[in-house]
Amino acid sequence: MLHNNLSVLIVDDDQGMHMISRLLIRGMTFQGKKVALISAHSIEEARQQFAENQDVSVAVINAPEGQIDQYIQLIRHLRHTLKLKELRIILSIVSYKEIKDVGEYENLDINDLRTINELTEENFAIVVRTALRDYLAEAQLTQHISGLHSLISDLSAEVKVADHTLYEVLKKIESIMGRPEGNSKLVIEPNADWNVVFSEGQFSGLSEKEIFEGSEELIELVKKYTATQTNYFLYSNDKVFFSLNMIANQDALCCIFGCERAYQDSYTLGITQLFTTEYSLKIRNERLQKDLLMSHRHVLTKLCESVEVRSPETGKHIYRIGMYAALFSKILGFDEEYQILIEHAAPLHDIGKIAIPDVILMKPGKLTTDEFETMKTHVIHGFNFFKRESDEIRPLLDLAAVIALTHHEKWDGSGYPNQTSGIDIPIAGRIVALCDVFDALRSKRCYKEPVTLKETLRIMQKDAGTHFDPKLMKIFAKHHVKFDQIFLDNIDHDANE
């Protein structure tokens, strides 16, 4: 974690040494940050100071003669118990002869080991500055790694655009560009008016006119962006500009002002640029995929509707079947993905009727045996409509094929087309069979009046174990009010009045 101020803790039992150190590093700044001095006159005091302030950047520990073991124990406490990984430790000892185990010094990551004679008034400030530089480098590396980790997990996770507001993305980029708090942020929509989507810090509350009039750099930026357009990324002094594909399929131009100059290294810029580019691409791809899926469903639904207008089923029947099937699979404990799939696959169960001649499909009276045989072929036509032409797995169409083929099979094997029985009938087929009959009974058709809920349930329960899977029927009966609610909420008024 990087802080605006740096601090050096001196551990020494000699008050004189504290006074000299204070004089030597008084008013010191390093990379624009003030360096504060903290004193501890004993091991206990040092422990106390670290317990209260774990952000110490450098510890200068002077171990008096014969006490080195206690001081090593203090360092062990800092590294192992408090896990102060970034803290730089300068240990000054009386003589190298005191060192018994060199390996231990390496394990404890003592960054600078010197004798008292080697840490003089002349070199003290230099030694501290070197340690501060190492501390900042270590802290920066830690921040880079955690920032990178967070970016990678963002890129590998499924993008949910709604969950990733521009602001969150900006915060993430800020965190790897240094100084996570206190930057000024501006996001502009690159339309003709360059509308400000949001502003923070120095831009907060300003109009577009005020913002642009106050910054030559922004006007330059807009000009440059207009010329280059895609995947824009620019770093200038303490500012970072980039484009993200976030707003209504358009790029948003984002600006963060006040980034640390220390982060102007090619590593950080490379990662940030990669992130903004990849993230934009990912969002574009997701939009495209969503659009394809929607178009896909739209075409299939329209096809179903074209079948429905030729058959006695009413308009919303197919949608209700989808909703019943989704609810049923939810009750049965199927995951959300399956619930969505069945919701969209179940309405396609009768698509094979597209191949049934009008004279049969729209016949008002009872069908002859031959006509019924023709009618029964709709399950095969439906299956052929969706069946795979290659090995490619297509979850929605594969499920639609299964449902089209099996929704007229019966539990006792007396259904069609294959007289499959029991659990050999795929669960999706058993679910849709039940939902289809329920909806047909509850609906008004040109040849019949709607059946009451109570009567519908009685008729269906009579067929448990013959037509329907008895276990599924039991579950359906237990939750029948919820299924009927779907029917009532999506009723065809013209048909059921």
Beta carbon nearer to Fe ion, 116 or 367: 367
Q: How far apart are CA 113 and CA 72, in angstroms?
A: 12
Could you tell me the smallest distance in angstroms from the CB atom of residue 372 to Fe ion?
Answer: 12
Q: Is 308 in the site for Fe ion (CB under 5 A)?
A: no
Of 2-10, 84-92, 391-399, 434-442, the window that binds Fe ion (rule: CB under 5 A) is: 434-442
Task: Name the strands in the sheet holding 112-115, side by side, starting at the edge strand that comes first in the sequence.
Answer: 29-30, 33-40, 6-11, 58-62, 88-93, 112-115
Beta carbon nearer to Fe ion, 174 or 350: 350
Burial class (CB in 10 A: 0-12, 13-18, 19+), 40: buried
Beta carbon nearer to Fe ion, 172 or 430: 430
Could you tell me the smallest distance in angstroms from the CB atom of residue 248 to Fe ion?
Answer: 38
Instruction: Give the bridge partners for 185, in sequence order.
Output: 200, 256
Q: How far apart are CA 59 and CA 452, in angstroms?
A: 83
Neighbours of 19 (CB within 10 A): 11
Q: Is 436 in the site for Fe ion (CB under 5 A)?
A: yes
Could you tell me the smallest distance in angstroms from the CB atom of residue 317 to Fe ion?
Answer: 6
Could you tell me the smallest distance in angstroms from the CB atom of residue 347 to Fe ion?
Answer: 9
Of 163-171, 197-205, 343-351, 412-420, the window that binds Fe ion (rule: CB under 5 A) is: 343-351
Could you tell me the smallest distance in angstroms from the CB atom of residue 315 to Fe ion?
Answer: 12
Choose among 339, 325, 436: nearest CA to 379: 436
Beta carbon nearer to Fe ion, 409 or 436: 436
Q: Which of residues 347-366 bind Fe ion (CB under 5 A)?
A: 350
Beta carbon nearer to Fe ion, 61 or 399: 399
Neighbours of 248 (CB within 10 A): 9
DSSP β-ladder status, 233-236 and 184-189: unpaired
**Count of chain residues binding Fe ion (CB under 5 A):** 2
In degrees to the nearest 10, what's the CA dihedral of 318, 320, 325, 331? 180
DSSP string of 252-279?
EEEEEES--GGG-SHHHHHHHHHHHHHH
Of 52-60, 219-227, 344-352, 457-465, the window that binds Fe ion (rule: CB under 5 A) is: 344-352
Of 8-16, 204-212, 346-354, 422-430, the window that binds Fe ion (rule: CB under 5 A) is: 346-354
Dig out the tokens for 471 from the structure: 């276990």
Which amino acid, one-letter code, is at 354?
A: I
Q: Is 343 in the site for Fe ion (CB under 5 A)?
A: no
Could you tell me the smallest distance in angstroms from the CB atom of residue 308 to Fe ion?
Answer: 9
Beta carbon nearer to Fe ion, 188 or 441: 441
Could you tell me the smallest distance in angstroms from the CB atom of residue 407 to Fe ion?
Answer: 6
In the complex, which residues of this chain contact Fe ion (CB under 5 A)?
350, 436
